[in-house]
Amino acid sequence: MRKLLRTDFTRLVKTLLFYLTLGGVTAIFYLCLFFSSAGAGESRGVAVCNTMCSLAVLLVPLVVCGAYMLFVSNEFSGGAIRNKLIVGHRRTDVYLAWSVVGLVDGLIVAAVSVGSSAILIRLFADTTGLSAKKVAVAAGIALCMLISKMCQSILLSVVLPGAKGMLVNYLLTYALLMFFVIMQDTAPDSKIVDLLARCFPEGQVTKLNISKMPDRPWLTVLCGLGFAALCVILGIHVFRKKDLS
């Protein structure tokens, strides 16, 4: 397992796509924060923090996952997977290594983009109305959703390697986002919709607001991590049975 992690980490940091993703996401953060405007009754700091939460929950996972899905898919097309299995690595270890490296990839991009944006907010924006507790809760939920989305995307990259998996991932994200936006208006009190929204980042982003945090954030974190664990289990099961010939 240690050799797999070292090999995958080395290959990741040598790819141009990793640095393009890191720079591109950070640049988008800066642009969105610069052009964001405050709504009625909220400070500039609250407005930009809400923008940053939305970006952290949706943009970072979507862009990083798309790039990382190509990273995993290249192992299918290039035959690297067969080489790993030939030298004695188990399929479970290969999949877990992908998951760990993917999560670290997402955390690096999130730390750089969100962290540097937070410094800019602290230095140049009006932080009136922000509380450390609410910011910490929002950051915890965003981190949970990043983990959930990464695990979901790695699963899709095994089920549908290559461009097909990326397309399905993007369409699924858009469809879920539209579903939760519509359901928030038509069935705001539905317990089923509320539970689903706690599991999917596309649902949580519709409720994540620094001024008014969702109730029971601990339940949101548990549901999101449970969904991530389910994706890992399903991914291992699918990969064990996948024909690599």
For 214-238, how does the pLDDT look when each residue is reduced to its tens digit (9 = 90+)? 677 778 788 888 888 998 999 888 8
Global confidence as pTM: 0.80
Distances from the Cα of 149 to the Cα of 6, 65, 99, 143, 156, angstroms:
23, 8, 11, 10, 11
* Distance (Å, whole) CA 124 – CA 122: 6
Q: Which two tokens stand for residue 93?
A: 């270890």
At 43-85, the pLDDT tens digits run 666 666 777 766 776 777 778 877 888 888 877 776 777 778 7
DSSP H or E segment with residue 103? helix 91-124
Bigger pLDDT: 145 or 99?
99
State mean pLDDT over 105-115: 85
At 77-89, the pLDDT tens digits run 767 777 787 777 7
State mean pLDDT over 194-222: 74
* Distance (Å, whole) CA 123 – CA 17: 31
DSSP H or E segment with residue 10? helix 2-13
Q: How many helices (H) and strands (E) does the chain have?
A: 11, 0
- Domain range enclosing 221: 2-241
* Per-residue model confidence (pLDDT) at position 144: 82
Q: Which two tokens stand for residue 170?
A: 């993007």
* Distance (Å, whole) CA 188 – CA 190: 6
Tally of domains within the chain: 1
